[in-house]
Amino acid sequence: MREKLLCFFSVIFLLSFGSAEAKQKHPFRVENDTILHICSNLSEVSYFPIFYGSCVFPPCDTIGLVREYFPNEDDRFVYYGYSTVIIDEGVDSLVFRLPIDTIKLLQIPSSLKHLSFYWESPVIEKIQMSSQNPYLRWEDGTMYNRDKTRLYFTLPNAGDSVLQIPETVTQVWSIPYRHYSKIVFPKHCEMYPAFPPFCDTLIIQSKHCPDWDWFAKAAGSVSSYLYWPSDSAVARIFMETVWSRLEWDPEIDVNKGRDRFHCPNFDVRKRDTSWMRESYRMTCVLDNGDTLVGADSIPSGRYIESAKIEGIADENVYFRNQDQDGKDVYRFYVATYDTLYRLPLEVFVKPEEKEPEQKWSDFGEVKDSVLIIREDVDSLDLYASFRKVIIPKRTHYLEGSIKCDSAYLYCDSLKSYYNDDVCDRIDARYYYVENEELYLSIKRWLMEKKQSAVAYCPHADVRKRNMALQQNTNKPVWRDSEGNIKNLTYRPWGIMTGLQLEIEGLDSQDLYVLDCRRKRFLQKSNGYFGFINDGKTAELEYAVWSYDTLLPLQQKDTVRFVKRDGTPWGKGYDIKECVLYYVPKGMTRHTLLESKDSILMWRSGDTIPRRYANRLAFGMLLTNGDCNPSGAMEYDVLYLDKRNQYLRNGYLEGNQQLWKIPRQYKKIWLYHIKEYRPDCLARAYNPMHFYIKR
């Protein structure tokens, strides 16, 4: 009876909770902050295709290259410092992308088929591999696949100075970055580690060789002796060195390092010269598919995709584009054993047909440093300097730049194709302007740029100046982007604050504001005046533009930057760190920070009580002790509960958006934190972590 009941409850348990071999939901989990479990293959996020369908841990799209983001030892991230890594049963392949120099124990399950490390081989004290694993072999401190053709990694033995890779190995994934007296790669080796080993003597018995770049990297790590019996492999390396010099860097010394290669079978007499003759027939295919036979030039803008030379194997034909004495020319080479021979063939790229250089005589006449533009010229495009320039009535467009003492403009209008002001194109000390509208635009430009040049128009009438505007005493009204009236005693929310100005009875487009203390006009863009929030008091005076002059007004204002408690702002807008703070119900981020209510604020490493974890906002703690609201926040978040961790992206935007931490989580990490404000580019902040107290 007992056995029947036990069987019944077992069936009910399995039906209720699923099979014990069901696929894990989460990629990993942490227990007691010391053990890192990897429990999912994550084939859908495999961006590092060493193995098809392999687990890349951590996933590339969520963590990134940890050492690139956190290069300083003080910026320890959640994945640092684990002494034990357990790869759970069910994971079949793994590319481990984390710094693993602190791992003391690595546990490998029976299901794991492939294991590789993105960084150099780990320094692990102990490996525990399931005896039931049919795919891997752990032997003498080295991890192989079962048939011992792949060497995944090896743990260095302090007493060994020679690394002899077994003869069965065809692929070497990694070698510890430590100094060896000798390393021997076997005869059938076809794949070498990404980074050259560090040794006194390197022996490569295989005819398969790494590329030239591998040995270029090895220049500083491989010492004086490199033994390689395969002369074809050595010859290929020498030939690639010659080609690299031609293609990339003419300063490369093709003989450098040759004396380090010791090859008993190397013989320069194996260079094949049977193809040498007096004439060659060449066929070139261009990028647009055109085929040229025996041509010595190609059109401008085209390039050669492939070339065939009669009597020479295609794989031995090399060519590249070179600049020879200012000419664009293709040259051709033949690869022969360990070197390249240049062929007596050249294909020139026809130069672009240059537009004829414009001369002053194309526009008019020059006499005694005076340029007189012809009456029929509609547009100008020249760079020149004269004593005087005379522009006729029919000229309306101007490019280039003209510098002169005086400019006489008889045209009705003068514009640039790029809508630049005419004064950006003509730099003169005196402007004579026939057209009244053009004269007024030049006058305003000179005023805004504080230019001392003089502009005169015979048709200007100073009686059109409205001097009565100076009698306006209405109070200046400042508004923010939402139309709210702003008191000029306020807390700055960014590096620069933009406000609109209204004075009843005056056109806002004609209003100007002078910062007396800094002796400059406030910058104006799209109707907004920009206040630089450097913490310094600003004294403002106002003026209005009327016809051709700026009229000062009687109104004055003072801008004061203050902190939440009303004390002077002090230092400028300098952010110290990113924080989280609690927003009570009935308040927004801005209304809380603008009030004098106390703020509950937490810095990275603090514990947040659960009752506050449902209305959190990002804030910026400043160097003067004040706190400002953040802009739009973008971040990645990692939650930790009793069983698992999982990742998600986050984005908070706007004044009303608050962040709620789900109830089941007791610890969170934030990283890849970026803040976006309308007044500047994105800012990045250091990673943060918080504890949630029940």
Which position has the token pair 């004098």?
A: 596
Q: Residue 640: pLDDT band by 50, 70, 90 thresholds?
A: low
Q: What span, in angstroms and rounded, lies between the C-alpha atoms of 344 and 669?
A: 65
CB 132 within 8 A of CB 112: no
Mean pLDDT across the stretch 27-43? 61
Position 436 scores a pLDDT of 95
pLDDT in tens, 209-239: 777 667 655 544 455 678 888 888 888 888 8
Q: How far is residue 494 from each of residues 86, 338, 676, measured CA to CA in Å?
A: 47, 64, 11
pLDDT in tens, 603-618: 988 999 999 999 999 9
Beta pairing class for 222-227 and 261-262: parallel
pLDDT, the chain, mean? 79
Which of 73-77, 165-169, 413-417, 448-452 has the weakest average pLDDT? 73-77
pLDDT greater at residue 221 or residue 467: 467
Highest mean pLDDT among 182-191, 222-231, 633-642, 682-691: 182-191
Q: What span, in angstroms and rounded, lies between the C-alpha atoms of 584 and 81?
A: 38
Domain boundaries, the chain: 26-140, 279-349, 360-460, 467-561, 575-693
Which of 133-142, 177-186, 215-224 has the weakest average pLDDT? 215-224
Q: What span, in angstroms and rounded, lies between the C-alpha atoms of 543 and 586?
A: 42
Structure tokens at 418: 């790029």
Position 97 scores a pLDDT of 59
Q: For the domain bounded by 467-561, which CATH number is listed?
A: 2.60.40
pLDDT greater at residue 655 or residue 319: 319
Which of 151-160, 429-438, 578-587 has the weakest average pLDDT? 151-160
Q: What span, in angstroms and rounded, lies between the C-alpha atoms of 141 and 472?
A: 90
Whole-angstrom distance between the N-terminal and C-terminal Cα of the chain?
45
* pLDDT beyond 50 at 45: no
* pLDDT beyond 90 at 361: no
pLDDT in tens, 292-341: 888 888 888 888 999 999 999 999 999 988 776 667 899 899 999 988 99
Which of 21-25, 213-217, 434-438, 690-694 has the weakest average pLDDT? 21-25
Position 257 scores a pLDDT of 66
pLDDT greater at residue 3 or residue 572: 572
Which of 92-106, 253-267, 680-694 has the weakest average pLDDT? 92-106
Position 58 scores a pLDDT of 46
Q: Burial code of 126-161, b = ≥16 C-beta within 10 A, e = fewer?
A: ebebeeebebbbeeeebbbbeeeebbbbbbbeeeee
* pLDDT beyond 90 at 408: yes
Q: Which helix (H) or strand (E) holds 69?
A: helix 66-69
Query: Which residues 6+ apart lie within 8 Å of 238 measured at CB?
Result: 254, 258, 338, 339
Q: Residue 48: pLDDT band by 50, 70, 90 thresholds?
A: very low
Which of 157-161, 384-388, 543-547 has the weakest average pLDDT? 157-161
* 467-561 and 575-693 in the same fold: yes
pLDDT greater at residue 599 or residue 67: 599
Distance of alpha carbon 629 from its chain centroid, rounded?
26
The CATH-assigned architecture of domain 575-693 is: Sandwich (2.60)
